[in-house]
Amino acid sequence: MFRNRKSAHVGLRVLAACFVLYPVVALSETAQDDDDDDVNDAREHYEAREALRLGQVRPLDQIIAVVRKEIAGDIIEIEFERNDGRYVYELEIIDPSGRVIEVEVDAKTAEILEREEDE
């Protein structure tokens, strides 16, 4: 494979460098994904605060109160989005039986628009 010892030595160094650098490259890609998530979360929070300030949506605690009247369980995720020209909250809830329920709620009226249960 290698023609002389020097080539073998260089080849082993390159191979060792690959083993050392691979985790760094892999982690940097994961960090980039995390950075994108952080940017999206920050944008989402800013947009929600601004919509609340302008009276375009209800406060999140009011939305949660309406949903809790309909669905028992622990909220595990909340997203704020604009769908079909209106702001909506998407909530994921684990009900007492362990099922995950996704609920879409109109952020201005607190009307539950959609309810989907994972099986």
pTM (global) more than 0.75: no
Q: Mean per-residue pLDDT for 101-119?
A: 94
Q: If residue 35 lies in a helix (H) or strand (E), which one and from where to where? A: helix 5-53
Which tens digits make up the pLDDT trace of 67-107? 999 999 999 999 999 998 899 999 999 999 999 999 999 99
Domain boundaries, the chain: 1-56, 57-117
Q: Report the distance separating Cα 94 and Cα 110, nearest Å.
A: 20
Is 63 within 8 Å of 73 (Cβ atoms)?
no
* Mean predicted lDDT score pLDDT of the chain: 81
User: In the structure, what pLDDT confidence band is assigned to residue 38 with cuts at 50, 70 and 90?
Assistant: confident
Residue 69 pLDDT: 96
Q: Report the distance separating Cα 60 and Cα 69, nearest Å.
A: 14
Task: Determine what percent of the chain is predicted with pLDDT higher than 70.
Answer: 71
Q: Choose the CATH number for 57-117 among 3.40.50.970, 3.30.465.10, 3.40.50.10860, 3.10.450.40.
A: 3.10.450.40
